C-alpha cells in the first residue's frame, strides 16, 4: 500500500505564506549548497507527486524551464519526469508532462490511490489538500 507523504515549509505558527501571500521567506538567497543538496536528495526519492491547482501552476511554470534545468538540474529532471496528479475543479487541462488531472472527489480518489499497488505519493505544498485530507482522516 503506497504511503502519502506531505512535504511542506510552514512558519512556526502554521502559515505557508506571509501577509502578502508570498513564501519567499522559506528560502532566502540563491546560493545555499546545503539546501540544494537537501532538495536534490528529496527529488531523487521516486514516487508520485500530488498537487492542488495553485501549487501545480506554480511548479509547472518553473520546473520545465531552462532556468530550472540550469539552476537545479537533478531536481528539474526528476520533477519533469515523475508521475504527477493535480486535483482541481477549475483547471481545464494539465499541460505539464506526466500529469493526470482529477476533478472528482479528492478524499475518495486519494483513498483509491492508496489502496492500489504503486509508488508512494508526496504532496508538495498544497495546504488546502493537506487540510482536507487531514480532516477526512
DSSP string, the chain: ---EEEE----TTS-SS-TTS--GGGS--S--HHHHHHHHHHHTT-SEEEEEHHHHHHHHHHTTSHHHHHH-HHHHHHHHHS-EEEE-SS-----STTEEEE-S-HHHHHHHHHHSSS--EEEES-HHHHHHHHHT-
Q: What are phi and psi of 96, to 5 degrees?
A: -75, 140
CATH superfamily, domain 48-137, is: Dihydrofolate Reductase, subunit A (3.40.430.10)
List the grid coordinates of 8.
Answer: 511542506
Residues forming beta bridges with residue 52, ordered by sequence position? 87
Residue spans per domain, the chain: 48-137
Encode the chain (137 residues) as per-residue pLDDT tens digits.
899 988 877 778 877 777 887 766 666 656 777 776 766 666 666 789 999 999 999 999 999 999 999 988 988 999 999 999 999 999 999 999 999 999 989 999 999 999 999 899 999 888 889 999 999 99
Instruction: Look at the pTM and tell me if it is higher than 0.85.
Output: no
Amino acid at each position: 500500500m503506497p504511503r502519502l507523504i506531505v512535504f511542506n515549509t510552514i512558519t512556526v505558527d502554521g502559515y505557508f505564506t506571509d501577509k502578502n501571500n508570498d513564501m519567499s521567506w522559506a528560502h532566502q538567497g540563491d546560493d545555499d549548497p546545503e539546501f540544494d543538496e537537501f532538495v536534490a536528495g528529496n527529488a531523487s526519492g521516486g514516487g508520485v507527486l500530488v498537487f492542488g491547482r495553485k501549487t501545480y501552476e506554480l511548479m509547472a511554470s518553473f520546473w520545465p524551464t531552462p532556468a530550472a534545468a540550469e539552476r537545479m538540474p537533478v531536481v528539474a529532471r526528476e520533477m519533469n519526469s515523475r508521475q504527477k496528479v493535480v486535483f482541481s475543479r477549475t483547471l481545464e487541462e494539465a499541460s505539464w508532462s506526466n500529469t493526470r488531472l482529477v476533478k472528482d472527489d479528492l478524499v475518495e480518489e486519494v483513498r483509491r490511490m492508496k489502496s492500489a499497488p504503486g509508488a508512494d505519493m508526496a504532496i508538495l505544498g498544497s495546504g488546502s489538500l493537506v487540510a482536507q485530507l487531514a480532516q477526512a482522516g
